Amino acid sequence: MADFIQLLVNGLAIGSVYALAAIGFVIVYSATGVVNFAAGQFVMFGTFAGVVTLINAQLPWSVAYGAALAIMALFGALFFITVYLPLRRGSIVTIIIGTVAVGIIMQNAALLSFGSWPFRLPSPLEDRVVNLGGAIISTHALGVVGVTALMVAGLWVLFNRTSVGIGMRAVAQDLQAAKLMGLKVNRLLALSWVLAAVLAGVAGLMLGPMWFADVNMGDPIALKAFAATIIGGFGSLPGAIVGGLFVGLSEVLGASYVSSAYKDLISFGIMILFLLVRPQGVFGEKIQDRG
C-alpha cells in the first residue's frame, strides 16, 4: 500500500507536467488550428530557461523563476511572429512539417548552447520528504501537483472571468465573427502563443528536477502530450488535464506493475484505442473531422 501511494503521487506529479504541456498545446490548437509538433521543445526550452537563470546566473528562487517565465513569454511572441504568421495559411501537413522543422532548430540551438551533457536543475523543495503512512513522498512531487492545480484554477479564471480570456475563447470559436465584433484578433492569437509558451515554461521548470535537463527531452514529452490530448478530447482543457494525469499514472504504475520496457506502449495503445472507439476523447464533442 505504501508503495502504491508513493507511485500514485509520482505518477500524478509527472502527469501534471504532461497536463500543463497538453494544455499549452490545446490552447494553441483551439485558437489557431495549429498542431504544434514543437510543443515538447517548448517544455525543453522552459527547463533550460531555468538552467540559465538558476544555475548560470545564480539568481534567487523567485527572481529566477520569474525571469525564466519572462524569457518563455518573449519566446512565445517571437514564435508567433517568425513561425505562425508566415505559415498560418499553409495546409495541415505544411504546418506539421514546419513546426517539426522549428523543433529541430530549437533542439540543436539548445545543443549548441548547452552541450549534450545533462544538467541537474535544483528545486526549492529539494531533498525534503514527507512520510505518509510509510510512503516516502518527495515534497517536490507534491509541490508540482499543487502548482499545477493553481495554474488550472488561474486558467479557469482567465477564460471565464476576464475579458481577455473570453476574447481568446471567442477567437477560438469563430475567428471571423470575433473580428467582426471588433476584437483585436491578432493580439489575442499572439497571446495564446505566449500563454502556451509560459505554461510549457512552468512544466519545464517543474520537470527539470524530476528528470535531468537534457536537450533531447522534448520529443518524449511531446508524444505524451499528444496522447494526453487525444485521450482527454482534442481541443478540451479539462480533457488535457485528465489525459495528462492519466498518461502520467499509466506510465509510472505500468512501469512497476506491468512491464518497464512496455510502459509507453500502454499510453499509446490506449490513445489508439480511444481514437478508434471514442475519437472525441473523454470530454470532447463530436466533430466531423474526428471520424
Partner 1 sequence: MAMRAPLAIAAAILVLGGLVASVLPEYYLRLFNLSAISAVAVIGLNFAFGYAGLISLGHAAFVGMGAYGLAILTTAWGWSPWLAMPAAIVATAALAVLIGYPLLRLRGHYLALATLGLNVSFYIVTSNWIGLTGGTNGIARIPELAIGSLALSGEHRFLCVALVTLAVVAALAAMLHASRHGREMMAVRDDEIASEMIGIDVTRVKITAFVLSAICAAIAGCLFALHVRFVAPEDFTYAHSITYLAMLIVGGEGTIVGAILGAILLTFLPEWLRFLGTTYLLFFGLLMLCILVFLPTGLVGLGRRLRLRSRRTPPPASVGVPEMTS
Residues 75/52, Cβ–Cβ less than 8 Å: no
C-alpha 214/C-alpha 280 separation (Å) is: 34
Residues 171/183, Cβ–Cβ less than 8 Å: yes
C-alpha 132/C-alpha 125 separation (Å) is: 17
Q: Which helix (H) or strand (E) holds 245?
A: helix 237-257
Q: Which of 63, 92, 164, 181 binds partner 1 (CB under 8 A)?
A: 92
Q: Which of 33, 60, 66, 154 binds partner 1 (CB under 8 A)?
A: 33
Q: Which of 43, 197, 223, 241 binds partner 1 (CB under 8 A)?
A: 223
Touching partner 1, residues 167-196 (CB under 8 A): 173-176
Question: Among residues 113 and 160, whose Cβ is nearest to partner 1?
Answer: 113
Decide if residue 291 touches partner 1 (CB under 8 A).
yes
Rounded least distance, CB 74 to partner 1, Å = 20
- Which of 47-55, 120-128, 137-145, 271-279 is the region at the interface with partner 1 (rule: CB under 8 A)? 271-279
Q: Which of 102, 190, 191, 197 binds partner 1 (CB under 8 A)?
A: 102
Question: Among residues 69 and 215, whose Cβ is nearest to partner 1?
Answer: 215
Total residues interacting with partner 1, rule: CB under 8 A: 56
Contacts of 225 (CB under 8 A, 6+ apart): 18, 21, 22, 25, 39, 40, 244
For 201-228, b where at least 16 C-beta lie within 10 A, e where not — what string? bbbbbbbbbbbebbbebbeebbbbbbbb
Rounded least distance, CB 89 to partner 1, Å = 5
